[in-house]
Amino acid sequence: MARYTGPVCRLCRTEQKKLMLKGARCKSDKCPINKKRPAPGKDPKARPGKRSDYGLQLREKQKLRRIYGMQEKQFLLFFERALRMPGITGENLFVLLERRLDNVVYRLRFAVSRSQARQLVLHGHVMVNGRQVNIPSFLARPEDVIEIKEPSKNLVVIKEALKEFGRSGVMPWLHLDPDGMKGKFLAAPRRSDITDLLDVKEQMIVEFYSK
């Protein structure tokens, strides 16, 4: 599957929002959003043009897709699955995205970014209910136990990432035992629980794919 290999800070500049793609750098003064750098390819002095409804919807879709680090085809599959589920499609989409194993590993503070979490999963460092799972798109279910394999608990990148737990904790639908490097997926989150993404307008994404 093709993947983006360019500078990830460029993606944040495009969306003019911190997508938290580089962990600690996103919280430092080096972040281009903190420096108020303009979107790439644009004259900083140029007057911004008015975006069409389609353009606004596209930007919302691209923003959410890039936050979770997914390619277009995979993101569309998740949307189609959310569309078939009972309830509100936009909220269903968020629930499915939050249930992805790479996202759960990131939310449990085992990694500083979703891309790093995806790498941990792909390299076989993560176990679900006592079994190794190396599929980032694996969907966690309530009461699933997610933990780091015993030989991998000495990895410096995981220990450094877990230091974040003492400062900000984990989301309310998760439980973390930082000493045992083990967590539990308690329940599927509600849309209102995902507080760091409240500015994403999921209805625009639904309208984009409904055209």
- pLDDT value of position 164: 76
- pLDDT value of position 196: 86
Residue 18 gets the label, from left (phi > 0), alpha (psi -120 to 50) or beta, of beta
Alpha-helix residue ranges (DSSP H) falling in the chain: 8-15, 53-67, 72-84, 89-99, 101-107, 114-122, 156-162, 165-168, 202-209
Q: Is the dihedral of CA 119, 124, 125, 130 positive or negative?
A: positive
Tell me which residues of the chain have a pLDDT lower than 70. 1-49, 166-167
Structure tokens at 163: 């230091």
| Arch. (CATH architecture) of 101-190 | Roll (3.10)
- pLDDT value of position 1: 43
- Assessment of whether the complete model's pTM goes beyond 0.75: yes
Which residue in 193, 175, 97 sits closest to 138, CA to CA?
97
50 DSSP 8-state letter: P
- pLDDT value of position 99: 97
- pLDDT value of position 211: 77
180 DSSP 8-state letter: T
